[in-house]
Amino acid sequence: MTTSMDHINEDIKNIKADFYEVIHHPYFRRYLSDPVIDHDQVVLLYYLLQKNGHKYRYIKNCVLSSVLVQTALAVHDTVENNQWDSELEKKSRQLTVLSGDYFSSLYYYFLAKISDKGLIRVFSRSIQEINEIKMSVYCNGAESAHSKRAFVNYRLIDSLLIRNIARFTGQENWIKPLDEFFYLKRLVREHRCILEGRQERGTKGMLLTDVAVMEPDYLYQKEIEGTRLKLASFSYEWLPFKHYIHDRMKQLLNEHPVYQEYVAEEG
């Protein structure tokens, strides 16, 4: 590895700062809170592109485009269909939709700077696939949402864009670890929501298809442990990638005390 970790961390810090500078809009900020970046998406995509030998300008614009796409999709997921009770709620909802559209327009602006038509196609196809999965899960009823195919797609929704970029750049061996890592994050997040008696916006908790057979709490703990074992078993040809995945996995699970109880009970 030719670039020091300090230099990489500085690059990542600058990319995140650029993101918040780009999305700054006085009118949006008056009514809406700043979106939260998925730090893991930033770091892992940076690592992927840096391992592939791309220059910083290419990496920065690709990562910014990726984060803007994910932010736009996440923002649109938060829009509720119920009737608003006040003009302020109406304005907030309208601005939420507009901000998502605004982020969508920005992603293409940065992607166009790269002048990589193949990568542009990867982004377009990934966005289409993500939206199709969401429509299948959220709009087509329980029978469709609980089908085996829908569940397989659901497992990949958070890693779909970065996995397609990995395939595009020829880093096929990154795909399974990326899929399982982001699935683990979703499992931990959904499990925490269930324990707190709430449902995360944009999440249907599709793992709960066998609740009549198995308790939801145990079901999530069992799935989390299975995913952890998969992540531990993969061979990683690039050590920084392996170390990051393993360190973040340990951090996620250490911060999830119910999982620790499950491990103790299972012995």
Residues 6+ apart with CB under 8 A from 208: 216, 219
For the stretch 42-84, pLDDT in tens is 999 999 999 999 999 999 999 999 999 998 888 767 665 555 5
* pLDDT of residue 117 exceeding 80: yes
> pLDDT tens across 10-44, in order?
999 999 999 999 888 776 667 667 788 999 999 99
Q: Which long-range contacts (CB under 8 A, 24 or more apart) does 1-7 make?
A: 1/240, 3/50, 5/240
The whole-number pLDDT of residue 217 equals 81
Is residue 265's pLDDT more than 90?
Answer: no
- Report helix, strand or coil for 213: coil
Cβ atoms of 257 and 196 closer than 8 Å? no
Question: In angstroms, rounded to a whole number, what is the distance separating the alpha carbons of residues 188 and 110?
Answer: 32
Q: How far is CA 84 from CA 75, 80, 90, 96, 138, in A?
A: 18, 9, 6, 14, 21
Q: Specify the pLDDT at position 84.
A: 56
Residue 63 identity: V
Whole-number percent of the chain with pLDDT over 90: 49
Q: Is the pLDDT of residue 202 over 50?
A: no
pLDDT confidence of residue 67: 95
Q: Which residue has the higher pLDDT, 264 or 234?
A: 234
Confidence of residue 211 (pLDDT cuts 50, 70, 90): very low
17 alpha carbon, distance to own chain's centre: 19
Cβ(161)–Cβ(70) below 8 Å: yes
- What residues contact 243, with CB distance under 8 A and at least 6 apart? none
Residue 205, number of CB atoms within 10 A of its CB: 16
